[in-house]
């Protein structure tokens, strides 16, 4: 696999997929909005080591990229997409990045850290937010999907 971002304290992959364990990933409609949210979290006491914004191109091109994945890694990605787990979120991230969006990462290893982060994050109005737990992804803010008429 590629060398990825050293910002993540506990690595950024699991079973060949992007999985920043103990981080909240929040999507924003622009890099400026993500940077504004990052600054607000810093104003509320989060350190440089706990919060960081990134462009959509960086996240999907560098962090979520699996171009050099092995066959087994690609198979795991296909299975997770089939059952609607991590890879489905990568599709959401790609869609946001293609429309000019950006991302904010917040280290939240405990439930108390998550509550503190969400109290600061929610007023910033992210498009979505999810938390990567050791065995699951927790949806914190997620819009309802509009299904096309068939």
Confidence of residue 106 (pLDDT cuts 50, 70, 90): very high
Residues 111-116, mean pLDDT to the nearest whole number? 96
Spatial distance between the Cα atoms of 108 and 73, rounded to a whole number of angstroms: 27
Residues 87-106, mean pLDDT to the nearest whole number? 83
pLDDT in tens, 46-95: 999 999 999 988 877 765 555 554 444 444 444 444 444 555 577 778 88
pLDDT of 129 reads 95
Confidence of residue 4 (pLDDT cuts 50, 70, 90): low
Q: Which string of DSSP letters, residue by residue, matches 70-90?
A: -HHHHHHHHHHHHHTSHHHHH
Residues 88-104, mean pLDDT to the nearest whole number? 83
Tell whether the model's pLDDT for residue 109 goes beyond 90: yes
Question: Mean of the per-residue pLDDT values for the chain?
Answer: 77
Cβ-based neighbours of 142, under 8 Å, separated by 6 or more: 128, 129, 130
Tell whether the model's pLDDT for residue 140 goes beyond 70: yes
Tell whether the model's pLDDT for residue 105 goes beyond 70: yes
pLDDT of 137 reads 84
pLDDT of 41 reads 95
């Amino acid at each position: 696999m590629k060398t990825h971002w050293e910002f993540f304290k506990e690595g950024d992959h699991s079973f060949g997929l992007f999985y920043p364990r103990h981080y909240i990933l929040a999507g924003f409609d622009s890099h400026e909005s993500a940077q504004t949210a990052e600054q607000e979290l810093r104003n509320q006491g989060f350190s440089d080591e706990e919060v960081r914004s990134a462009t959509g191109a960086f996240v999907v091109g560098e962090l979520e990229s699996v171009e050099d994945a092995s066959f087994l890694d690609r198979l795991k990605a296909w299975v997770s997409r089939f059952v609607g787990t991590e890879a489905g979120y990568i599709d959401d991230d790609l869609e946001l990045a293609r429309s000019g969006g950006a991302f904010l990462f917040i280290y939240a290893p405990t439930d108390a850290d998550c509550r503190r982060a969400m109290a600061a994050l929610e007023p910033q109005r992210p498009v979505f937010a999810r938390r990567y737990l050791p065995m699951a992804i927790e949806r914190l803010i997620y819009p309802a999907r509009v299904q096309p008429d068939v």
